[in-house]
Amino acid sequence: MRTLMALWALLCLSGSAWAAGPLTPIQAKGKQAYDHICIYCHSPGVWGTNRLARRMDQEHAVLENRTDLTAAGIRAVVRMGIGSMPPLRRTELSDADVDAIAAYLTRARSVQR
């Protein structure tokens, strides 16, 4: 049952990303980096998402669904860490990758304008 719920959540996520339109090249690079680095803690039902749900609410727990994130805020959290998220060094994630992830996670904001 848990596997089905996780699969359903992933389908919903991919559907919401698709509904927003095609990704720009930098957003696509950001999605690739996010899927390589961030997804292990920030996909539905995993540790980081569950922590955010307890601290904030379920609506703000899945980063890919949020519309309130800013690129500057994402960069700051990635580089300095926050709560139980450790900072990521430039040897772990390049500035270009952080910028691409920020472009991917803030894509909904650019669609709303």
Q: For 5-35, what is each residue's pLDDT tens digit?
A: 333 343 344 444 444 579 999 999 999 999 9
Domains of the chain: 2-112 (1.10.760.10)
State how far the Cα of 100 lies from the Cα of 25, in Å rounded to an integer: 9
The helix/strand/coil state of 93 is coil
Higher pLDDT, 105 or 17: 105
Around Cβ 99, how many Cβ atoms within 10 Å? 17
Which of left, alpha, beta for 81 (phi over 0: left; psi -120 to 50: alpha)? left
| pLDDT tens-digit series, residues 46-93 | 999 999 999 988 888 999 999 999 999 999 999 999 988 999 999 999
User: What is the predicted pLDDT for the residue at 20?
Assistant: 55
- 95-105 and 25-33 helices, crossing angle to 10°: 110
